[in-house]
Amino acid sequence: MAIAYPHFIGSEKSPMETGILMPSSPSSASVSPVILTQDELKKIAAYKAVEYVESGMVLGLGTGSTAKHAVNRIGELLRQGKLHNIVGIPTSKMTHEQAVSLGIPLSDLDTHPVVDLAIDGADEVDPFLNLVKGRGGSLLREKMVESSCRKFVVIVDESKLVKHLGGSGLAMPVEIVPFCWKFTAHRLQTLFADSGCVAKLRTSGENSEPFVTDNGNYIVELYFKKDIGDLKAASDEILRLAGVVEHGMFLDLATTVIVAGELGVTVKNKFN
């Protein structure tokens, strides 16, 4: 969607306050707005997030249409000599290939069990900075990396903001083992029957074959008609089911969320 977007500069706010990049001068109100696409908004948020990157950091490199802009920017700054001694830990095979093409040095959690900063997108963000992630299928590796970092910066456009997780009506992904996947999907759907849950296997290709993650697993997508309530209780219940590997709720992990929207770039911080 194209959104009117005036010219903005930054301002600082305290933790848990919203920092909005405001018009640069009173006269800017008379300037014709620039119409930006959703992808251009994602790029603005991604570039803002890369401002948190410092030389010498170990970085978690996210996956998806928003995170790719951040990875591209990090590669650009390395080539320009503005960043040095960066080590990236990719969250998918796709991001690994992108980072290699950009000349970003890579490693893994075995070598660097503590990550300084991770930058990634999200599919949903609630008012408490809880997230739904993984509609691209990389949720397990994303959660492994992003739960191991000192700071996790999330980059989204404003269409990803919801009142509660699942509120977009789109999928909340759960990674499961392929063995007896129908059995596991049915158990997941039954678990959230009170929320009107419908569980569907993610498929891909012309023949609708099961989508296979980088880890060789399947993805079951959960669709909710109602709020699922206590997120931590829901998380525990999902993970107790044999056959479940991980789910796409990222609870209490994000430290900063950067939102690009019609009023500019909003930065939301959370106390650690």
Label each residue of 135-197 as H, E or C.
CCCCHHHHHHHHCCEEEEEEEEEHHHECCCCCCCCCCEEEEECCCCHHHHHHHHHHHCHHHCC
Q: Please give the model's pTM, rounded to 2 decimal places.
A: 0.86
* 74/26: higher pLDDT: 74
Structure tokens at 21: 């990049």
pLDDT at 31: 57
What is the number of alpha carbons within 13 Å of residue 2 lying toward its C-beta? 4
Distances (CA, A) of 97 to 75, 105, 183: 13, 12, 35
Question: For 5-60, how does the pLDDT look when each residue is reduced to its tens digit (9 = 90+)?
Answer: 443 333 334 333 444 444 344 444 455 566 778 888 899 999 999 999 999 999 99
pLDDT of the residue at 1: 33
Q: Is the pLDDT at 120 greater than 60, yes or no?
A: yes
DSSP-assigned letters across all residues of 18-37: EEEPEESSGGGGGSPPEEE-
End-to-end CA distance of the chain: 34
Question: Is 142 in the active site?
Answer: yes
Q: What is the mean pLDDT of residues 246-270?
A: 94
Identify the helix (H) or strand (E) that includes residue 267: strand 264-269
181-240 residue pLDDT tens: 999 999 999 999 999 999 999 999 888 999 999 999 999 999 999 999 999 999 999 999
List 124, 142, 175, 221, catalytic entry? 142
Contact 70, 63 (CB under 8 A): no
Q: Distance between CA 257 and CA 18 in Å, rounded?
A: 10
Looking at per-residue pLDDT, the higher value among 79 and 29 belongs to 79
The pLDDT value recorded for residue 22 is 40
DSSP 211: P
Torsion angle of the four alpha carbons 218, 184, 141, 50, in this order, in degrees rounded to the nearest 10:
90
State the pLDDT confidence band at 264, using cuts at 50, 70 and 90. Answer: confident
Whole-angstrom Cα Rg for the chain: 19
